[in-house]
Amino acid sequence: MSVDLSDEPCQNGSDDQALSSLVLEEAVAQNQQLCEPLLSGQDNSSSAQAEEQPAPPLPSFQGLLFYRLLYFLDGLSASAWGRFGIIYYNRIKHLSAGQIGVLQGVAPVLRLVSQPVWGYIADYVQSRKTIFVICNTCCTMLILSLSHWKGFWPILCCVAAMSCFNSDGVLDAHTLDFLGEAYRGMYGSIRLWTAISWGLGAVVMGWITDQWGFHWNFVLFGTMMLLMLAAIIFGLPTRSKSEQQLYNQLNTSSNNQQEQTEEEANITAHSSSNHPQLSELRKAILRLPVCLWLAEVAIIGAGMTIVDSFLFVYLQNELDTSTELCGYTVGVTVLLELPIFHFSEYLLSKLGHDVLFLLSMFAYSTRVIGYTFLTPSTAHWVLVLEFSHGITFACMWISSIDYAAVVAPKEWSTTVQTLLSTALSCVGGGLGPVFAGLVMDRFGPYVMFRSIGVVVAALFVVHAFVYFTLKQGHDRFLQQFKAERLSVTEPQATAGHDNETSS
C-alpha cells in the first residue's frame, strides 16, 4: 500500500506564501497611509486638477452672430464688384485679354509684398482691427475712383495702388482668435455666410448690370463696404483677448525696464522682449512640408484666378452669353460651398487634409476641361460645371485654414493667415492670369483652359501617389508637428511647475 505524501508539503508551502503575501500587503497599506498626507498635496492634487479642468466655454451667440454678419457683408460687397470687374474692363474700358491678364496679375504680385507686411504690423501692434479698417478704407476709395480713369496705364496705376492696401487673412485670424483652439472647427459655419452673400449678390448684380449698367455696381459696392466698416469700428474692440494679453505683457515689461539701470534694461530687452520674434516665424514656416503646402495652395489659387479672370470673357466673346447668365454662374458656385463649410469640422476629422485637397484638385480639373466642350447652343451647361467650384474652394480652404492655425506660433497667427492668403491670391493669383492671358491671346481660350486643367490633374496624381503609396502628406506632417510642439511645451510646463513649488 503506497501513500502519496507530496500534497502535504505543497499545502504548507502555499500557506506560507499566503501568510507572507498577507503581511506584505498590510505593510504596503500602512506605508501608503503614512505617505498619503504627503502625496495628497503634490502629485494627487496636480493630477486631480488636470482631470477636473473645465472645458472652455462655448463662444457667445452674440459673437457668432456678429462675425457671421461681417462675413456676409464682406461677400456682398465683393459680389458687387469682384467678377464683374472683368466685364467692366472688357466692355466699358475696352481692354484686351492680355491687358486684363496684366491687371489681374500685377495686383496680386504687389499684394505678395504688402499683404504679409500688414499682417506683420497687425501682430506687432497687437491690433488687427486698426489694420483692417485702414486697409479697407483706402481700398474702397480707390475702387470707387476707378470709374474716372481712362486708358490702360491709368487703370493699371489705380489697381496697383489699390493692391497695396489689401489685408486678406486679418478677418480670418480675428475669427479664429475669437473661437479659440477648442472651437476652431466652427470656422466653416461662420465662413459659409460669405458664400451665401457672394452667390446671391452675384445673381442680383448680374441682373442689375444688364438692366441699369455698371454705375450701380459702384454704388452698391460702396454702400456695403461702408456698412461693414461701420460694423467693425463700432462692434469690435480695439484688441481681441489674446492681443490684449500680449499688449499688457509688453507694457508691463517696458515699465519694469524703466525702473532698472540702462545696462540691465538692455539685457532684459534682448532676453525677454514680448514683441513677436521673427525666429519663431521662420522656424514654423521654413519647413519643406509647409513650403510644399503653400506651393500647392498657390497652384490651386492660380487655377481659380484664371477662371475668375477669363470665364466671363470666354462666355461672352466665344459663346455669346448674357451678363445675367454670368451672374448665375457665380450663384451656383456657392451651392456646394454651403454644406461643405457647415460640416467642415466633421469633414476634417473624417477625411483629413490630404483627401480634401485631392477632392479640390479633381473637381477643378474636371470643371475647366469641361469648359472646352461647350458651344453657343450648350452654353447654359456651364451652370452644371460651376457646381464643382464649391468643392474646389471649400475643401481647399477649410483644410488650409486649419493647417495654418496648427503651424502658426501664437504670436504670429495673423501673419501666417495672411501668408496663406498671399499664396492663394498673390503668388498663384498673380502668376496665373499673366501667363493665361498670353496663352489666350496667342492660342485661344480652349488651349488655355485645357492647359491649366492638365497641370492641376498632374498635381492631383503626384499628391495621390505621395499620400496613398508613400504614406506621407499634410496629415502625417501635422501629426509630427503637434507631437514636436508637445514635446517642447511639456518640459517647459514642468520646469515652471517646479519653480513655483520651490518658491
Q: Which residues, 6 or more positions from 394, have their beta carbon under 8 angstroms from its beta carbon?
A: 188, 195, 336, 337, 340, 341, 344
What CA–CA distances, in Å, run from 54 to 50, 51, 182, 259? 9, 9, 12, 39
Q: Which residues, 6 or more positions from 257, have their beta carbon under 8 angstroms from its beta carbon?
A: 264, 265, 268, 269
Cβ-based neighbour number of residue 54 at 10 Å: 5
44 assigned to some structural domain: no
**388, 364 Cβ separation under 8 angstroms:** yes
Cβ-based neighbour number of residue 264 at 10 Å: 12
| Closest alpha carbon to 142 in 169, 167, 166, 170 | 166
Query: Residue type for 439, please?
Result: V
Domain of 296, CATH number, reads 1.20.1250.20
358 assigned to some structural domain: yes
Report the alpha-carbon distance of residue 54 to residue 42 in Å, rounded: 20
329 assigned to some structural domain: yes
Cell numbers placing 119? 499682417
49 assigned to some structural domain: no
Backbone φ and ψ for 319, nearest 5 degrees, come out as -110, 0
114 assigned to some structural domain: yes
Cβ-based neighbour number of residue 105 at 10 Å: 22
316 assigned to some structural domain: yes
Residue 163's pLDDT is 85
Three-state helix/strand/coil letters over 247-262: HHHHHHHHHHHHHCCH
Q: Which residues, 6 or more positions from 229, have their beta carbon under 8 angstroms from its beta carbon?
A: 133, 136, 137, 140
Report the alpha-carbon distance of residue 387 to residue 27 in Å, rounded: 74
12 assigned to some structural domain: no
Residue 149's pLDDT is 87
Q: Residue 200 belongs to what domain range?
A: 61-241+276-489
Cell numbers placing 349? 476629422
pTM, to two decimals:
0.68
251 assigned to some structural domain: no
Listed as ranges, residues in the chain with pLDDT below 70 are 1-54, 252-276, 488-503
Report the alpha-carbon distance of residue 431 to residue 440 in Å, rounded: 14
**Helix, strand, coil % over all residues of the chain, rounded to 5:** 85, 0, 15
Number of domains into which the chain is organized: 1
